[in-house]
Structure 1
Amino acid sequence: MKFQASTKVQIPRGTDDIMPGEVEKWQWIEQKAREICGLYDYHEIRTPVFEHTELFHRGVGEATDIVEKEMYSFTDRGNRSISLRPEGTAGVVRSFVEKKMFAQPQPTKWYYMGPMFRYENPQAGRRRQFHQFGVEAFGSVDPLLDAEVIALGMQYFKSLGLKDVRVEINTLGDAESRQQYREKLITYFEGYMDELSAEAKSRLYKNPLRILDSKDARTKEIAAGAPLLRDHLNETSRNHFDTVIRTLDLLGIPYVINPRLVRGLDYYTHTAFEYTVDISGAQAGSIGGGGRYNGLVEQFGGPEMPGVGFGIGLERVILALTEQQVKLPLAQGLDCYLITLGEEAKLVGMKVLQSMREAGLRVDRDYMDRKMKAQFKTADRLQATYVAILGEEELKRNQINVKRLATGEQETISLDQLISHIQQQR
């Protein structure tokens, strides 16, 4: 596609420019995620933003909304079908298998952060390019690891200052329980075949559990009367879930058991959960979720190897922080704004500026040849603590004038003492 010179090029729908003044919030919540993961001994992994489309068909599930409707897929120059990643787990599991990490001592505990892509109707907290923070823990079937993952997410929200975050939790059972329940669901929904939505009908024999998550009004009414999975759990599944719940009670983590919670991905077994908080304009108040996926490593060609994890939507986190008016401890303003008078002072000022930066001070200067009064206004706008004024006369005496903007207090000090003077007053 060719654009004329006068054509206005705009950002694609459902994407955002994160501008200075806003991006600092993102940096802070990302740094908090890294700090919390460090406390739990989770290590960062970075996977490609695009993968072979088959990865998501096999891992996420062909009967999911993501694969059926929302993936950004294209054929590359090698005639390969490629998709932008719609979620983080599949790529992480692919890497775990491809790098043969299953041969290492377990568990393996990783976290990731970055952009994901889904073609859906843009709304508050739901964008076509969005960002996730997620964790994955491989190698253990211990339900205590499920509880640890849930607790990690809750500690992250607490560290941000978010209040009233809750966990909705359910069990999807093991393969044996799921198969028995699947047959019960098919039998039940077959009795309403003429009333189900077209989408529900298409999923009935592929993955009937997905019908429980339908958005169609009549299908939701029918699904409300469907058998509950918890009534068809075997002893192993029931014991696993009971241990998770008892552990959450012990840790003081608030939760609600939601027997209809199935999540939007096919790979979950046993524990499934969502983090919820009240957010105006954001669907269902969900800010993240996850669960256990004990068969996913095998689907990608690895050995039998369990896993559990979550993904948290960072746009949703920002929305929740804004909604609750949480004041973030962001660094604001400069330590010093440098004003120079005269050509020689202007040149030497660059060396002074660089020395201050190398000492870890946040500093800036004028590059627009503004008058001194205008430069003071700029320093005030940039919330500078100090203004340092270097003129030709001061330069000859190896001195500099320093003014504290908040008080108006001004003094002349040795140029060599400028850095230590500001550092002592920080």
Structure 2
Amino acid sequence: MYLEHTECRSIRGMPDKLDFECRKKEYIVSVGQDLARSYGYKEIQTPILEFASVYTKSVGETSDIASKEMYTFSDRNNDLISLRPEGTAGVVRAFLSNNLAANLPCKMYYSGPMFRHERPQKGRLRQFDQFGIECYGVHHPTADIESIMIAWKFIQNIGVSKNAKILINTLGDLESRNAYIKILIDYLNTKKSQLSKDSLDRLNKNPLRIFDSKDTNDIQIVANSPNLFDYLSPSSLKHYQFVEKVLSDLGIPIERNNRLVRGLDYYDHTVWEIVVDSNNLGKSQDTVLAGGRYNGLVKTMSGNLNVPGIGWGAGIDRLSLLLDGNRVCKDHVPICVVLVPDNIDSDNPNETNLRSISTDIAGLGMRVMSMLVDNKIPAVLIHSTKSNNSEDSYMESYRTLSKQLFTAANFYPKHVVIIGKSEAQFGKVLIRDFETKEQDECLLEELLKNIVIE
């Protein structure tokens, strides 16, 4: 740490993302965008600030998000404002604000930062990024199937499906759920003395949330609780069985989990999570994507518009922890351009004289850089000087070629283009294979052909 002042520290749970993490995020989002567009979804961007009621009304005032985790404050107009804790509610608000119900079905995808005041740990941050999709206007279970299929393809295309599986359940319709909740409360009341404090608070507010408890006693109690499947209405059961049958026929690895309820109050019917068994994820942070159907949310927020919805959100930060660096870097492998000083000090061959890069060498180097970038080939100029803390830009000592190649290794290049006095004089460049160390000289005009051929 160079600075110890409070204003120079990041907020706990909100870390900076440096280049490699940014590239992983960019890769994940690009995979999601390409996939969503292929299925007819269109991008939407919503503000990170909304009126707090957008979230308290949608996720439920008794949910952990609304009651414990939201960043909420009063602005100068005394309006209660919240930082975005999840994506769906804001998209529903935008769906209503922009009258998108006039053209159904409506399919949208989004990405961006979310904020929750949770206890920071590996795989769980206070500022985190999500990618998600939402579909409005389709009651039929084909929408559930499509959403889950896209979710699974997303995980596959990113390259993290090896130890992944889909946990799936149904919460049924409102009638089924209300009937089950009465039975569940009766059962939990017989175990009241064994429940954790949080579960006691949830018992009369939202007993289904007790299924999310991480308390050992709570887990044992809900494991022996009545099964929601026994209280599903015929239409709810038929809806779920349709989804399960088609997904199984498609070979998508689903596993029914009757205790899966999801942490947000707006879900009904099909809910699911994609979990990955990996040591790279933090304890109890194995869920990388989650979603479900929410047929009543639009009506809850609008007051009168009855439009069904379904969607999912994926945690980009958790997916980043699973990514193989080679997969991310392969599309970003640059050509490194090295400028060789043209005046070596014979008394000290490991160092070079001051001001020893000519304008001809620099000019040819810049032309090479422009040629590569103009042809959409990433290029990195390895600057050949190291600062001696002088404000005079000429008063710097030049590094040897070997030291410049050592710096180039940080970019994992396939090729290095080397330009020295001889190359500048005859309009040539030296192309070096960074792995084999083989090198060939060619005219500047033949550079692209030689790079492509190799």
- TM-score norm. by structure 1 comes to 0.89
The 5-angstrom pairing of residues 65-76 of structure 1 reads 65-76=64-75
Which residue number in structure 2 is paired with residue 291 of structure 1? 292
CA offset digits 1:86-129 (Å, max 9, x no partner):
1111111111111111111x221111112111111112211111
- Structure 1 pair 178–329 and aligned structure 2 pair: CA distance change class (3 A): same
After superposing the two structures, state which structure 1 stretch, 74-83 or 347-356, moved more: 347-356
CA contact (8 A) 1:295 1:304 kept: yes
Equivalent residue, structure 1, for 2:321: 319
* Superposition pairs of residues 231-242 of structure 1, within 5 angstroms: 231-242=230-241
Count of aligned positions:
417
1:422 matched residue in structure 2: 451
Within the candidate set 133, 137, 152, 2:135 is matched to 137
- Asked if 1 retains the 8 angstrom alpha-carbon contact of 2:105 and 2:137, the reply is yes
The whole-number CA distance in structure 1 between the counterparts of 2:333 and 2:221 is 58
Q: How does 1:385-404 map to 2 (within 5 A)?
A: 385-391=415-421, 394-404=423-433
Structure 1 pair 174–29 and aligned structure 2 pair: CA distance change class (3 A): same
The 3 A distance-change label for structure 1 pair 395 and 225 is closer
Tell me how far 1:355 sits from its aligned partner: 3.2
Asked if 1:300 is matched to 2:315, the reply is no
Q: Does the CA contact (< 8 Å) of 1:274 and 1:286 recur in 2?
A: yes
> What SS does the aligned partner of 1:163 have?
coil
Change (3 A) 1:329 1:173: same
**Counterpart amino acid of 1:331?**
D
- The whole-number CA distance in structure 2 between the counterparts of 1:261 and 1:381 is 45
Q: Is this contact kept in 1: 2:24–2:323, CA < 8 A?
A: no
- Quote the offset at 1:410 in angstroms: 4.6
Distance in 2, Cα, partners of 1:399 & 1:254: 56
Secondary structure at 1:83 match in 2? strand
Q: CA deviation at 1:237?
A: 0.7
Shift of 1:12: 1.6
CA distance in structure 2 between the partners assigned to 1:254 and 1:82 by the alignment = 41
Alpha-carbon deviations, 1:37-91, whole Å to 9, x = none?
Answer: 1232222211111211111110001111111111111111221111111111111
SS at match of 2:337: strand
Contact 1:338 1:363 in 2 (8 A): no
Aligned to 2:283: 282
Q: 1:130 and 1:86 mapped to 2: Cα distance?
A: 9
Per the TM alignment, residue 184 of structure 1 is displaced from its structure 2 partner at its CA by 2.2
1:113-167 Cα shifts (integer Å, max 9, x gaps):
1211111111221111112111111101111110111111111111223213211
Matched, 1:378 2:378: no
1:158 aligns with 2:156: yes
- Contact (CA 8 Å) 1:334, 1:363: kept in 2 or not? yes
1:203 maps to what in 2?
Answer: 202
Q: 1:309 offset after TM fit, Å?
A: 0.9
Cα distance, 1:137–1:418 mapped onto 2, change above 3 Å: same
Contact 1:337–1:365 (Cα < 8 Å) also in 2: yes
Partner SS for 1:300: helix
**One-letter amino acid of the structure 2 residue matched with residue 343 of structure 1:** S
Aligned to 2:330: 330
Q: Secondary structure at the match of 2:85?
A: coil
Distance 2:146 2:380 in 1: 45
Which residue number in structure 2 is paired with residue 230 of structure 1?
229
Deviation at 1:316, TM superposition (A): 2.1
After TM superposition, give the deviation of residue 218 of structure 1 in Å: 3.5
Q: CA deviation at 1:244?
A: 0.8
Q: Give the superposition deviation at 1:416.
A: 3.5
Separation in 1 of the partners of 2:27 and 2:270?
Answer: 30
Q: 1:10 to 1:142 in 2, by over 3 A?
A: same
Offset, 1:381: 4.7
Distance in 1 (alpha carbons) for counterparts of 2:120 and 2:57: 26
Q: Is 1:267 matched up with 2:297? A: no
- 8 Å contact from structure 1 (residues 154, 165) kept in 2: no
Please tell me the residue identity of whatever aligns with 2:295: N
Q: Which residue of 2 aligns with 1:182?
A: 181
Counterpart amino acid of residue 256 in structure 1: E
In structure 2, stretches of 5+ residues that fail to align are 343-356, 386-397
TM-aligned CA distance change 1:206 to 1:380, over 3 Å = closer
For the 8 Å contact 2:339–2:362, the answer to whether it is kept is: no
TM-score, normalised to structure 2, is 0.84
Partner of 2:123: 125
Cα 1:160/1:262, change in 2 over 3 Å:
same
Cα offset, 1:397, TM superposition? 4.2
User: Judging changes above 3 Å, is the alpha-carbon distance between structure 1 residues 405 and 151 closer, same or farther for their aligned structure 2 residues?
Assistant: closer
**Alpha-carbon deviation of 1:201?**
3.3
Return closer, same or farther for 1:262/1:58 CA change in 2, 3 Å cut-off.
same
> 1:269-321 CA deviation, whole Å, 9 max, x = no partner?
11111111212333062222111000000111161000111111122222334
> Hey, what does 1:112 align to over in structure 2?
110
C-alpha deviation, 1:395, in angstroms: 4.1
- From 135, 147, 150, give the equivalent of 1:149: 147
* 1:362 and 2:371 correspond: no
- Cα separation, partners in 2 of 1:234 and 1:387, compared to 1, 3 Å: same
Cα 1:193–1:249 change in 2 (3 A) is same
Moved more, 333-342 or 166-175: 333-342
**Corresponding residue for residue 369 of structure 2:** 353
Structure 2 distance, partners of 1:43, 1:6, is 45
Q: Residue 279 of structure 1: SS of its match in structure 2?
A: coil
Counterpart residue number, 2:49: 50
